[in-house]
A and B are shown apart, each in its own frame.
Chain A
């Protein structure tokens, strides 16, 4: 049972989170005959006895809920695959005459799609057997490597949204901050010549700064004028898209020479992030940056005064203000960091996977960051895991579309992502579906707050 709280909170338990999280101690205490000294939020010595495991399953600990949520999402996604497959839906029309044929067709369609997704994103058994017959060993790790590479920018935008959530702010603007970082990283990448390692560092820092400026502006407006960050970040996203289009369509700005398309010059080789496995679809140093950023955010939130202030402001701005915390300063600093993290995400993409900034480079990193942060419950470790899951789904989605010749289009993974977050965020629903005993709990930790903040 890995329900050990991820966030040790030595600076005092976070009241908002503690109140809303399904802490095992409280659910356990309602069961008769249980020892009352079952570990509380700080308990790290949970013994893995059979009893505990069964209890976790029957009552739905957050890990079990997450697993069941993924399972349920796959089932619902399977229904969608079946419903939209003409062969299988025709088979269902003759369900009462040949039920066996219907079910086998259904099973084939769904299991083929999901096994292809798994082979594309995690492990392809044929590469393992090939390795035994003299094939490449590195090929075994190719899917996992691609997954980590895909997860890298998602983890960073996820952290961006998550850290803002912890201070009670809803950062819809990771996309705009991403663009800010991408512009600076690109410009430093081709416009400046520096020795290899220093160039990489300068560009990554530049990406952070580029995003941080955009985030800082949002925080500043919120602190000085009370402008709601949701509106400002949405609008800034559009402003940044337009700015990017302007910069990329003028030769005097960022457009590559002799180009009519909206594309920037390639980042110099000296600024490229090194790759571990092979050419760009595989994982590189960017992933290490993402993990390091997650550790830094975890340290900041749980071990520093600033992090404590963020969490207090997130729990209740008025209480924080009464307690002498400078709420406005916290908003500004947290948005600056959030923007910087989104900018880092851009730097890992521009310097790592595709070295030319185009108008479509920002993709869906911003919106995906929101779902990753929510699935990770706005905690750094959770964000890393959620980012990896989403990275795997993205890789698998592309793979399954190619493998089924378009019969299962890649957007299936968007549906799966949505369903997973939906079910994880509604443990009461999961418990109701699977008839788990404890139906208590208000669901996911209150990561997001209402408009009145």
Chain B
């Protein structure tokens, strides 16, 4: 009995004194649901959309050279309790494909916090503007991406497949889904991405 009590007290004091204060509490965690990468005045802009129930999206725009830099700046300066493990959608403006796609996907592949099943898609500027107005667009885009994959298995819609296509020695070009806005959201155009070795 005494031995059990000693063990419990040791464990309890060890736990209390060594780090449960820094838990990621649900009420203070700022969970990022989407990230969009766009160009503004020649600079790459990373926009982090924070999960909330409001109709208007809660977002933070961070100018950075890469996703890695953007995440660091976000944590240090803008969003201290940032949590990226629930990231579901990454949208990249088409003009930035060559600049950021490979490096950012490479960075995401090395981080344990990102889910490899998160969606990746290219888009045009109008889509990004529309996206900034309402949070309902994310669900529509995700559903359409899944439908796209079902109709054409060759299209890559998540990190895993996009990354693996970058790495594999077999193919030199592969397909990624794109989103465009022309009066309404349209998903289905495929883009041939060059796999540069």
**Chain A bound to chain B:** no
Residues in B lying within 8 Å of A, measured CB to CB = none
Residues in A lying within 8 Å of B, measured CB to CB = none
